[in-house]
Chain A
Amino acid sequence: MLDSPKPNPPKADAPKTLADDRRIEALLLHRELEEFNNSYAAALDELRLMDWAEMFTDDAFYVVISRENADRGRPVGLIYCENKGMIHDRAFAHENTEMFAPRYLRHIIGNLQVLGEDQNGDIRARANYVVVQVLFDRPEAKLHQVGVYYDKFRRRGEQLKLAERRCVYDNLLVDNALCLPV
Chain B
Amino acid sequence: MTSQKANFTRDYVWPDDDLTVIPDWVYTDQVVYEREVERIFHGPTWNFVALEAEIPNAGDFIRSNVGPTPVVVARAQDGTIGVFENRCRHRAAEFCRELSGSANEFICPYHQWTYDLKGNLIGVPFRRGLGGKGGMPADFKLQDHGLPQLKVTAHRGVVFASYCDTMESFADYLGPEVLREFEATFDGRKLTVLGHYRHSLPGNWKLYHENLKDPYHATLLHTFLVTFGLLVAGNRSLMLADKSGRHGVMASAKSDAKSVTGDAKKEMRSFKEGFTLHEPRLMDFVEEFDSPWSVTMATIWPNLIVQREMNTLGIRQIVPTGPHEFIMKWTMFGFEGDDEAMTRHRLRQGNLMGPAGFLGLEDNEAIKFVQDGMQRVPDGKHLVKLDPQTPVGTADTLISEAAIRAMYRHWRQQMGL
Which residues from chain A sit less than 8 Å from chain B, CB to CB?
64-66, 68-69, 72, 74-86, 88-90, 93, 96-101, 137, 172-179
Complex alpha-carbon distance, A84 and B350, angstroms: 17
Residues of B within 8 A of A74 (CB): 193-196
Residues of A within 8 A of B20 (CB): none
Given A80-B351, A174-B355, A176-B202, are A75 and B365 also a contact pair (CB < 8 Å)? no
Q: Which 7 A-B pairs have the closest CB atoms?
A: A76-B195, A85-B278, A74-B195, A178-B356, A78-B356, A97-B223, A174-B199
How close is A12's CB to chain B, nearest CB, in angstroms?
Answer: 51
* Pairwise interchain contact A175-B194, C-beta atoms closer than 8 A: no
* Pairwise interchain contact A75-B199, C-beta atoms closer than 8 A: no
B279 at the interface (CB under 8 A from A): yes
Additional A-B contacts beyond A76-B354, A175-B200, A176-B201 (15; CB < 8 A): A64-B356, A68-B196, A72-B195, A76-B195, A77-B195, A80-B348, A86-B278, A89-B277, A89-B279, A93-B224, A97-B227, A97-B358, A98-B223, A98-B358, A176-B368
Given A76-B332, A86-B348, A176-B201, are A93 and B358 also a contact pair (CB < 8 Å)? yes
* Pairwise interchain contact A174-B198, C-beta atoms closer than 8 A: yes
Residues of A within 8 A of B369 (CB): 101
- Which partner residue on chain B sits nearest A97 by CB separation? B223
- Chain B interface mostly: mixed
6 contacts between A and B (CB under 8 A): A80-B347, A85-B278, A89-B278, A174-B200, A178-B356, A179-B361
B360 at the interface (CB under 8 A from A): yes
B36 at the interface (CB under 8 A from A): no
B294 at the interface (CB under 8 A from A): no
* Pairwise interchain contact B365-A177, C-beta atoms closer than 8 A: yes
* Pairwise interchain contact A68-B278, C-beta atoms closer than 8 A: no
> On chain B, which size bracket covers the interface?
35 or more
B366 at the interface (CB under 8 A from A): yes
Residues of A within 8 A of B356 (CB): 64, 78-79, 174, 177-179
B130 at the interface (CB under 8 A from A): no
Complex alpha-carbon distance, A155 and B45, angstroms: 58
* Pairwise interchain contact A75-B194, C-beta atoms closer than 8 A: yes
Residues facing A in B150-202 (CB within 8 A) are 193-202
Complex alpha-carbon distance, A86 and B277, angstroms: 8
Complex alpha-carbon distance, A68 and B199, angstroms: 13
* Pairwise interchain contact B272-A174, C-beta atoms closer than 8 A: no
Residues facing A in B361-379 (CB within 8 A) are 361-362, 364-366, 368-369, 372
Residues of A within 8 A of B344 (CB): 82
* Pairwise interchain contact A78-B198, C-beta atoms closer than 8 A: no
